[in-house]
């Protein structure tokens, strides 16, 4: 699907950020609307039903978390993709965002190439997207059809469960997957496995792909970053 069919809504109380992001995203062919506060964002979202909302967390009035919750309750918006734009890197704020219904976090200062890569990855998750498309970010390429992983174009051999684990984490960069989610998605009802099994697979993936891609969130689970 061409980028021209994708509608993006940018929400940030800093006008210079809105102008910077709007310029770069329109260059990529996206249809871009913008809002400077939560109430305006909800009005525009209700009217335009965007495919993706890029939402600042810290705003006067309705903050990003509150806007996210309201968007999720809005008719026709339950499946909209929502990514927070934030300078806050604390894990607890990320967890609060994901609990409110966010799909991703993008940290400020925002680099256009990284932002565009993240947007493309997010849009591949949309209900009408091809879920067999390869994931390509941060030098890591995951081909879900052929079960192959590449790092900087060099093929890396992974057993099936390691592949399924990294493919799961990479579907939502920045999202913290709980241990329960990982067990249900990767192992399902095959056998009873414990936390130790997940830890071993994570350790092996870090050895093969690098320490920088998989982060531990203590007491919660793991997330993929690039």
What value, to the nearest 5°, has the Cα angle with vertex 109 and ends 221 and 21?
110
Picking from 123, 157, 187, the residue at the C-terminal end of a domain is: 123
At 90, phi and psi to the nearest 5? -70, 140
pLDDT at residue 192 greater than cutoff 80: no
Same domain for 107 and 141, yes or no, is no
- Angle between the N-to-C axes of helices 91-100 and 64-73, in degrees from 0 to 180, rounded to the nearest 10: 20
* Percentage of the chain lying above the pLDDT 70 cut: 86
Confidence label for 197 from pLDDT (cuts 50, 70 and 90): confident
Residues 16-51: tens digit of each pLDDT: 999 999 999 999 999 999 999 999 999 999 999 999
Residues 93-134: tens digit of each pLDDT: 667 777 788 877 888 888 888 888 888 877 876 554 545 567
- CATH number of the domain residue 142 falls in: 1.10.10.10
Q: Is residue 129 part of a domain?
A: no
pLDDT at residue 2 greater than cutoff 70: no
At 109, phi and psi to the nearest 5? -70, 145
Q: Is residue 130 part of a domain?
A: no
Residues 57-98: tens digit of each pLDDT: 888 888 999 999 999 888 877 778 898 888 765 555 667 777
> 109 is in which domain, residue-wise?
3-123
pLDDT on residue 1: 39
Q: Mean pLDDT for the chain?
A: 84
Number of independent structural domains in the chain:
2
Same domain for 114 and 151, yes or no, is no
Same domain for 139 and 119, yes or no, is no
Same domain for 111 and 39, yes or no, is yes
């Amino acid at each position: 699907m061409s980028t021209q069919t994708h509608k993006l809504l940018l929400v940030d109380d800093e006008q210079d950020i809105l102008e910077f992001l709007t310029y770069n995203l329109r260059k990529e062919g996206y249809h871009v609307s913008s809002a400077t506060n939560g109430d305006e964002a909800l009005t525009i979202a209700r009217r335009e039903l965007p495919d993706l909302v890029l939402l600042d967390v810290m705003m006067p009035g309705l903050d990003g978390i509150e806007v996210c919750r309201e968007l999720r309750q809005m008719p026709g918006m339950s499946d909209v993709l929502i990514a927070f734009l934030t300078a806050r890197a604390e894990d607890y704020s990320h967890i609060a965002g994901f609990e409110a219904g966010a799909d991703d976090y993008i940290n400020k200062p925002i680099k256009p190439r990284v932002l565009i890569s993240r947007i493309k990855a997010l849009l591949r998750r949309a209900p009408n997207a091809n879920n067999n498309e390869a994931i390509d970010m941060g030098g890591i390429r995951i081909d879900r059809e052929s079960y192959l992983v590449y790092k900087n174009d060099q093929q890396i051999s992974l057993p099936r469960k390691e592949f399924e684990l990294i493919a799961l984490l990479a579907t939502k960069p920045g999202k913290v997957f709980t241990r329960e989610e990982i067990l249900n998605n990767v192992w399902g009802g095959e056998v009873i496995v414990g936390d130790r099994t997940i830890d071993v697979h994570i350790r092996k993936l870090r050895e093969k792909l690098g320490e920088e891609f998989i982060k531990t969130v203590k007491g919660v689970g793991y997330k993929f970053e690039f």
